[in-house]
Homo-oligomer: A and B are copies of this chain.
Amino acid sequence: MRDVAVIGIGQTKVDEHWDKSLRVLAGEASLAAMADAQITQIDGIYVGNMMSSAANQQLQLGALVSDWIGQRFTEAVKIESACSSGAAAFRMGFLAVASGEVDVALVVGVEKMTDSPSDEITAALATAADADWEIDHGLSFVGLNALLMKRYMYEHGWQGKDFAEFSINAHANAVHNPYARFRKAIDLNRFINSPMICDPINLMDASPIGDGAAAVVLVRDDLLPSNEAKILVAGSASATDTISIHNRKTPTWLTSAEKSAQTAYEQAGFKPDDINLFEYHDAFTIMAALSLEACGFAERGQGPALAKEGEIKIGGRLPVATRGGLKARGHPVGATGVYQIVEVVQQLRGEAGETQIPRHEIGMAQSIGGSGSNIVTNILRRES
């Protein structure tokens, strides 16, 4: 396989974009990434999206995007693995370039969720879970995460407020990110007094949906000048688990996160200690905790401790959600995995402004589809 470099990034603000259609959002991020890469010709387009069928009555986003951004006739497909669709699209773009088939790939994640009534979006989010064995029995996607969180609290003795630091950190970082949906800090008091959504998940445990698009340009490393600094894909892996949570032996352990992270570590030749920042999938605070543990950053059951000790902040041992995370940057589901990559690249380039981490050579992004049924882990490395 050939080495692959990320040479361009672009994004829209995560927001309620009433004035921008799906193609306009995707186009804005894509053209920004191409301008950043100083590239005008793309050989393959990989679109990450989850719910455009339900929310926008539009499939075939490959063709939609390729035409809109002036790349008519270019190969283009959509990749879907629920909430990790963006990360899965990144991985497919990576494989297309690594195979030698495609020289320059564009990966764009896009989602437009706020035009639809919230009950329709709740139903669309539930398609990430098992229709036959979970959703048909009345569960929602938040309900599944609430069951997981309750079980986790019971097993490890945590209380709801012990998850507060995940969200406080995310909001503190989002203040400095112009692309984040919620650019205001929250404190412990605000967290504790938030309305309960689905016990024990309160409003501040949960990430907000949104409209948005993020994009990156990938290129074969051997086509780049060898004497310039670059950002390479050092590890990339994906693993599935049962789609229904009750079928897992240990529901409070994300085996697919562990497996995809282990494979990515091996490919990159790194161990958890080598990672300078981690853009994790904090769709709910319980997922933040489980992801930290499965990837080897915390002992089993001790994810919240890492947050309480301040180790996840910008100056800490493992900065996470450095641009706001899903919690405060926002979670336009099929786009989120690409936002994470964009944010890792910002950090590795040293372009993260007030939330720039001090040491920035190796960054990891992990995206969770469903309740851990499809998890993609990517590790990027700066080579100077």
Given the known interface contacts A57-B135, A67-B241, the answer about A62 and B75 at a Cβ–Cβ threshold of 8 Å is no
Q: How many copies of this chain sit in the oligomeric assembly? A: 2
Contact: B374 with A63, CB < 8 Å? yes
State whether the Cβ of A256 lies closer than 8 Å to any Cβ in chain B.
yes
Closest residue on chain B to residue A243 by CB atoms? B63
Cβ of A92 under 8 Å from chain B: yes
Quick check: is A72 within 8 A (CB to CB) of the other chain? yes
Residues 233-263 (chain A) with a chain B CB within 8 angstroms? 237-243, 247, 255-256, 259
Q: Bin chain A's interface residue count.
A: 35 or more
Instruction: Report whether B99 and A1 are in contact in the complex, using a CB–CB cutoff of 8 Å.
Output: yes
The answer to whether A80 and B78 have CB atoms under 8 Å apart is yes
A82 on the interface (CB 8 Å rule)? yes
CB-based contact A77/B92 at 8 Å: yes
Tell whether, in the assembled complex, residue A73 and residue B131 are in contact, meaning their CB atoms are under 8 Å apart. no
A86-97 Cβ-contact flags toward B at 8 Å (1 or 0): 001000100110
Chain B: CB-nearest residue to A67: B242
For residue A30, CB closer than 8 A to chain B, the reply is: no
Question: When the two chains form the complex, which single residue of B64, B127, B259 contacts A59, counting CB atoms closer than 8 Å?
Answer: B127
Binds B, one of A46-54, A281-289, A299-307: A46-54
A77-B80, A99-B98 known; A243 vs B64 contact (CB < 8 Å): yes
The answer to whether A124 and B53 have CB atoms under 8 Å apart is: yes
Contact B370 A60 (CB under 8 A): yes
8 A Cβ contacts from A62-117 to B: 62-64, 66-67, 72-82, 88, 92, 95-96, 98-101
A79 contacts which chain B residues (CB < 8 A)? 77-80
B residues in contact with A57, CB < 8 Å: 123, 126-127, 131, 135
Does A1 lie within 8 Å of B101, measured CB to CB?
Answer: yes
Q: List 8 A-B contacts (CB under 8 A).
A: A54-B54, A57-B135, A59-B82, A60-B127, A60-B128, A67-B247, A67-B373, A78-B79
